[in-house]
Amino acid sequence: MILPILSIAVTAVPAAYAVYWRRAQAKRRSADWDSIISRFRSNSEFGFPELSERYLYSPAIQASSEDIWPRIQGANGLWSMFINAGVLMELVDYAATHGGDVVPELLIEELRSDALHLRLAVITALVRYGFSHSGVSASVNAHRAACAYGEMLAHMTTVFQEHFTLFFPRFLEAM
């Protein structure tokens, strides 16, 4: 009795996920600039402009590990960085598809690597904070995440400035 139910579940769950994934990919490919930007969480919402230069984003963070946690509003700021990493990659994909210029694949992969590095730093910070509730551990990992976010913003700004000049003003406006 349990074996048929288990075999149905084992095949139905991956099939349902495959359908969900395909729909999400189709929705992502059909998204326009404004719908992508609408999911971007403003950097000022979680205090990031206090940590880095706003115009053309410097990768340097102007905060110590001790005071970064309260400045980014803790886990809220980390989660915003996590969300924004995905949105920024969607913006690059959109610009590459609609921008006309041929962007070197190496550059796109570097940006994907930046996004992955940022997301791993955020997850590490959140997990450490969740398990230890240590302010020191959370601050150190939040500093790493903020540095990765600053580097990604600086890299994205350079890419838009050099390769997607039509989208560059809209990119700066969104940030």
Domain boundaries, the chain: 1-30, 32-174
Closest residue by Cα to residue 111 from 96, 97, 92, 95: 92
pLDDT value for 82: 92
Average pLDDT, the chain: 80
Q: What is the mean pLDDT of residues 1-30?
A: 73
Q: What is the mean pLDDT of residues 120-140?
A: 82
CB 81 within 8 A of CB 54: no
Q: What is the mean pLDDT of residues 9-15?
A: 76
Q: What is the mean pLDDT of residues 118-140?
A: 82
Residue 36 to residue 164: CA distance in whole angstroms: 16
pTM given for the model: 0.77
Rg of the chain taking only CA atoms, in angstroms: 19
Q: Where does the pLDDT of residue 59 fall: very low under 50, low under 70, confident under 90, or very high at 90 and above?
A: low
pLDDT value for 110: 87
pLDDT value for 100: 66
pLDDT value for 83: 92
Q: What is the mean pLDDT of residues 6-28?
A: 74
Residue 62 has pLDDT above 80, yes or no: no
Q: What is the mean pLDDT of residues 113-131?
A: 87
CA atoms 70, 75, 77, 81: torsion sign: positive
pLDDT value for 140: 85
